């Protein structure tokens, strides 16, 4: 059955890493109950590091520095790399697979869900393009990383759009395989990563960016994004998942 072309818009503000990941998972797991696809825009407070499902926490993150400088970290349920969430907007998109809102083929669905981000960035005059599997680039530099999972017949994709970037700070929190090459690595990443601030030549507010992305989702999916709130069931499940999974040492240190 095709769901109506009305999507839920969830603007949940800034939350802890564990809560953010728990809300994303709860919205995905209850997608078959809420029926409507959900688009969520959110931030991270305090700033945090998230690592991919398959990464080793202690391999990737300098936990001492992380504790001193930001204080929050979490393992995602999605693959991909470590991300320092600071001056950025994070989005998530969740829908059931049976809704056929996104292509069944994973690689095609990444592109479909990244298109609204590309359209949103166009509002700022930026010519953004999708680079498989999971990146969006502007002028050859990465501005957005995305990650997808599929569970219980539902799709969840979340991703970041860098509003400002501080590569030095990011690397003070992440471990690198060879300390001697850290300086070169930082220079390499500076060449490969960009932000809205760098591309627009001025700071862009979270609200302005989320407004543009909302339009992007509406255009790409031919849908209307209607402001909504998490249901009681979603809030309850998110609290449970936050306690049992994302706040738990067993999960975050599992690899």
Partner 1 sequence: MKGNSIYKIPEGKLVKISMDFDGGKIMAVKIFGDFFLHPERGIELIEKDLCGKKIEEKTLIDEIEKTVKKNCLELFGISSQGLATAILLAKEGAKNG
255 binds partner 1 (CB under 8 A): yes
**Residue of the chain from 96, 144, 149, 160 that contacts partner 1 (CB under 8 A):** 149
- The Cα–Cα gap between 23 and 15 comes to 10
How many residues form the binding site for partner 1 (CB under 8 A)?
23
**Site residues (CB under 8 A) for partner 1, limited to 68-87:** 77-82
Q: Which of residues 155-214 bind partner 1 (CB under 8 A)?
A: 177
With CB under 8 A as the contact rule, which of the stretches 15-23, 39-47, 53-61, 87-95 interacts with partner 1?
A: 53-61
Minimum gap (Å) between residue 58 Cβ and partner 1 = 11
Binding of partner 1 by 148 (CB under 8 A): yes
> Which residue, 69 or 106, has its beta carbon nearer to partner 1?
106
Q: How many CA atoms lie within 13 A of 114 on its CB side?
A: 25
56, 140, 153, 183: which one contacts partner 1 (CB under 8 A)? 56
Closest CB to partner 1 among residues 50, 212: 50
Minimum distance from CB of 223 to partner 1 (Å)? 25
* Pair of tokens at residue 38: 């959900």
- If you compute the radius of gyration of the chain from its CA atoms, what whole number of angstroms results? 17
- Using DSSP's 3-state secondary structure scheme, residue 133 falls into coil
Question: Which residue(s) pair with 8 in the sheet?
Answer: 38, 226
Per-residue tokens: 173: 């929190």
144 binding partner 1? (CB under 8 A): no
Stretch that binds partner 1, among 21-29, 62-70, 89-97, 143-151 (CB under 8 A): 143-151
- Strand locations in 79-223 (E): 83-85, 88-96, 128-131, 135-138, 141-151, 154-162
From 210, 212, 103, select the one nearest 148 (Cα to Cα).
103
Assess contact for 79 and 54: CB atoms under 8 A.
yes
Which region, left, alpha or beta, applies to residue 153 given φ > 0 means left and ψ of -120 to 50 means alpha? left
Task: Give the residues lining the site for partner 1 (CB under 8 A).
Answer: 52-56, 59, 77-82, 106-107, 133-134, 147-151, 177, 255
């Amino acid at each position: 059955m095709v769901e109506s072309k009305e999507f839920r818009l969830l603007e949940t503000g800034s939350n802890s890493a564990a809560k953010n990941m728990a809300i994303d998972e709860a919205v995905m797991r209850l997608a078959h109950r809420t029926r409507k696809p959900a688009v969520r825009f959110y931030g991270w407070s305090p700033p945090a590091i998230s690592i991919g499902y398959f990464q080793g926490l202690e391999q990737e993150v300098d936990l001492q520095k992380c504790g001193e400088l930001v204080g929050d970290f979490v393992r995602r349920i999605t693959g991909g790399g470590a991300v320092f969430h600071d001056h950025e907007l994070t989005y998530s998109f969740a829908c059931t697979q049976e809704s056929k809102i996104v292509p069944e083929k994973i690689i095609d669905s990444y592109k479909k869900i990244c298109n609204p981000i590309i359209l949103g960035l166009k509002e700022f005059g930026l010519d953004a393009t999708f680079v498989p599997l999971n990146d969006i680039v502007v002028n050859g530099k990465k501005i957005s990383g995305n990650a997808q999972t599929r569970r219980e017949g539902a799709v969840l994709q979340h991703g970041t759009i860098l509003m400002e970037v501080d590569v030095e700070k990011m690397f003070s929190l992440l471990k690198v395989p060879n300390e001697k090459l850290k300086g070169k690595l930082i220079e390499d990443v500076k060449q490969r990563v960009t932000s809205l601030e760098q591309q627009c030549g001025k700071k862009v507010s979270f609200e302005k960016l989320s407004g543009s992305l909302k339009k992007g989702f509406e255009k790409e999916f031919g849908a209307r994004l209607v402001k909504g709130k998490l249901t009681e069931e979603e809030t309850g499940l998110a609290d449970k998942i936050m306690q049992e999974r994302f706040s738990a040492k067993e999960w975050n240190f599992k690899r």
